[in-house]
Amino acid sequence: MKVLENYMSKETDLVKQMEQLAKKAKAASLALATISDANKNDFLEQLADALEKNRSAILEANAKDVEMGESLAIGKQMVSRLALDDAKIDAIIDGVKDIRALKDPVGEILELIKRPNQLAIQKVRVPIGVVAVIYESRPNVTIDCAALCVKAGNAVILRGGREAFNTNKILAKAVEEAIESSGLPEGAVQMVPTVNREAIKTLLKLNRYIDCVIPRGGEALIEFVIEESKIPVIKHSKGVCSIYIDKDADLDMAESILINAKCQNPAVCNAAENLFIHKNIAPKALPRLAQALHEKGVELRLDGVCEGIILCNDINIPLHPATEMDFHTEYLDLILSVKIVSSVEDAIRAVNTYGSGHSDAIVTEDEEAAQKFLKSVDSAAVYWNASTRFTDGNQFGFGAEIGISTDKLHARGPMGIRDLCTYKYVIRGNGQVRE
């Protein structure tokens, strides 16, 4: 895998190189589909070692990217996602080891059907083939996607953002070393060798070689990929997640869940952005929750009823009136939109109206209300008395994830190695013909 070497200026050269890259991935995918779990695990072991060996170079390259990002004012959330330290590299290496320990999904028999004519029909899990991942900022995605795709028997084409160019170059070097050491086919993992956005447009037309595209990043990137792609897209879109505090909520529990969902790491897609509170509990709950959030540095954007409750209780916090657009916004920051609702049905409508179909939670002691919420909210993950921050591949026991899909077809929610597979039917007979 030769990566990030020469900037390609001529459009004809760009198209040709992207086609060559995709063809190489297609050839590699056919070989990867049949290799043993031991061979894939050897690659992952070599990858963990290569990351450790290149640790200093990774940190040095990342420091350059962070410095450049800050000078270009890319925003503190993106800089936070971009920055690596020893602890984050340890986590990346541990993630590779966790993936290595997972059971190989390839070849798993999902269903066995025995027909009256004695045909034996097996539904068998197989790799997707060639996966292209287009992402921004987070350099850990480079390693997570390489490890997950190979474990699931897929070839992968990676295209990271320009803000992580130097870091991804060194990470790609570590992947290349592991591929060579383990004897995986050339082209198993490749990185697009340019930050030229025209390369993405070219890749997205190569549906003859690439089987699916997974974009991870901001709304603009997702929309760009959807509009340009001739290849099926599995969207990992924004996370406008909501917490609903029901009239029968335990307020100690509600406060703990809300603070965790909003404040533990506000710059991630499973952090809460909206809070809905039942009108019957709001006079008691809102002053307490508002004060607790304010002490954590959270800016509250309040609907009119919320403002009235705060003023009546003489709570000394800044008042920011909420707009309709605020409830559609993924802040990725210590900002929370708050609205009073009249019923669980009203809360469900609010979540389905404003949310992005990612992760939403109800806090209540009323099982009937909880079941109604869990059944009616149209999101990838729905919670009863738990924080939305658990929507994560590791937390679900999947190992690292390639992302959190907000689609409904093929994969939904945290996308692990099983979701990087499809299936085929294997039919065994003894001479049967159809009459």
Q: What would the DSSP string read from start to end of 303-321?
A: -HHHHHHHHHTT--S--EE
Give the residue among 60, 64, 55 at the shortest CA–CA distance from 90.
55
pLDDT at 5 over 70: no
From residue 6, how far is each of 21, 148, 157, 191 by CA, in Å?
Answer: 14, 28, 17, 13
Mean confidence (pLDDT) of the chain: 94
Residue 68, H or E segment: helix 55-71
pLDDT at 397 over 60: yes
Q: CB 358: neighbour CB atoms within 10 A?
A: 25
Q: Is 81 helix (H, G, I), strand (E, B) or coil?
A: helix
Q: Among the CATH numbers 1.10.1040.10, 3.90.25.10, 1.20.120.550, 3.40.605.10, which is that of 11-236+415-428?
A: 3.40.605.10
Question: What's the whole-number mean pLDDT along residues 399-415?
Answer: 90
Domain with CATH 3.40.605.10 in the chain: 11-236+415-428
Give the residue among 182, 347, 157, 318 at the shortest CA–CA distance from 249.
347
Q: For 257-288, how does the pLDDT look when each residue is reduced to its tens digit (9 = 90+)?
A: 999 999 999 989 999 999 999 999 999 999 99
pLDDT at 411 over 80: yes
Q: For 190-246, how does the pLDDT look when each residue is reduced to its tens digit (9 = 90+)?
A: 999 888 989 999 999 999 999 999 998 888 899 999 999 999 999 888 899 999 999
Overall fold of domain 241-390: Aldehyde Dehydrogenase; Chain A, domain 2 (3.40.309)
pLDDT band at 12 (very low <50, low <70, confident <90, very high): low
Determine the pLDDT at residue 10: 54
Determine the pLDDT at residue 75: 82
Domain with CATH 3.40.309.10 in the chain: 241-390
The residue with greater pLDDT, 12 or 62, is 62
Q: Which residues contact 397 (CB under 8 A, 6 or more apart)?
A: none
